[in-house]
Amino acid sequence: MHAVIRALEIPADINLLAFSQHLGQLGLNHRISEEGVHQVLWVDTEQAATLTRSSYAMYQSGQLTLTDEDPAPASLKPGIRLGRAIGSFPSTLLLIALNLILFPVSFGLEEGEFSDLLLLLIFLPTEQSIGNLYFVTAAQALSSGEVWRLFTPMFIHFGWLHLVFNLLWVWEIGRRIEHANGSLSLLALVLLSSSAANLTQYFISGASLFGGMSGVVFGLLGHSLIWSRLVPSRSTGLPSSIYIFMLAYLLLGFTGVIDLAGLGKIANGSHLGGLVAGLATGSLAGLLARARSG
């Protein structure tokens, strides 16, 4: 899409190289043109314009620190882009890395094989009886101190398609929230939404084997939706079409249509729990931000 919305007009003597690179890391399509003594930064959507303006305001105020060095093209030095991405979105990339590292724990499930590490990550611990594994209750797990199980199922994925689909959304939404709210806030949101997602799935569907980052993705989605509307000057810039698509996907999941289509068993409770948690954190963060600015 051609960048046609005038987002910023800045004096021509200001070096926008680092800021332009930052917009590229955020995935914002943009271009810069010169008009007399000014340079104009153009984007392709109103959401992108809002995110660009809020980012530049943070850049000018010192809340956003960028490097002004002129690197070699990314195609020649990919390590530079990776290093800058790690510096800008450490929590988002940490989540992606952990999921990639732990992906092999689900290998062998189709043959009924449970590795020791998988048994530590699943939501409910198991007990063996007459050669079979049985889930204990959530109350038993929590009373024994195994509280990590509230969120570790997010590291279990059932196939490459499941993993890639979730991690693409984590990257797309997570880095925007990390940019707007900070790295620690993103991690807190992930832990809370994952716990809410897993508990909701358990209460709706009972003891079963489930996992993945989809509950977290819906948590990120809910947080972004409320935050961007309460604090539009620091919007995540996520297009409205994304919210519509994901909410429609959630509703379709509860109808059973997706299951009937042969796309696998959908953890609808997980999606709902994550979304509600994200809506709550987005409301809290947005109201606090408005109170501080007011």
> 191-204, pLDDT tens digit by residue?
999 999 999 999 99
- The total number of residues shown for the chain amounts to 294
Of the chain, the percentage scoring pLDDT greater than 90 comes to 40
The residues annotated as belonging to the active site are 214, 271
- Measured CA to CA, the distance from residue 236 to residue 174 in angstroms comes to 10
Q: Rounded distance, CA 169 to CA 249, Å?
A: 14
Mean pLDDT for the chain overall: 85
Do 64 and 152 lie in a common domain?
A: no
Looking at the fold, whether 206 and 178 belong to one and the same domain comes out as yes
Domain of residue 50: give its range: 5-85
End residue of a domain, out of 85, 111, 137: 85
Verify that 79 and 117 share a domain, yes or no: no
Query: How do residues 66-82 score in pLDDT, each as one tens digit?
Result: 765 544 444 445 555 66
**Boundary-marking domain end, from 60, 85, 110:** 85
> How many domains does the structure of the chain reveal?
2
Is residue 242 classed as helix, strand or coil in its secondary structure? Answer: helix
Shared-domain flag, residues 38 and 114: no
Evaluate whether 215 touches 197 at the Cβ level (below 8 Å). yes
CA 95-177-89 angle, to 5 degrees, is 50
Predicted TM-score (pTM) of the model is 0.75
Give me the pLDDT at residue 205, please: 85
**Distance between CA atoms of 258 and 15, rounded to whole angstroms?**
50
User: Closest by alpha carbon to 151, among 213, 93, 102?
Assistant: 213
Q: CA angle at residue 134 from 129 to 137, to 5 degrees?
A: 130
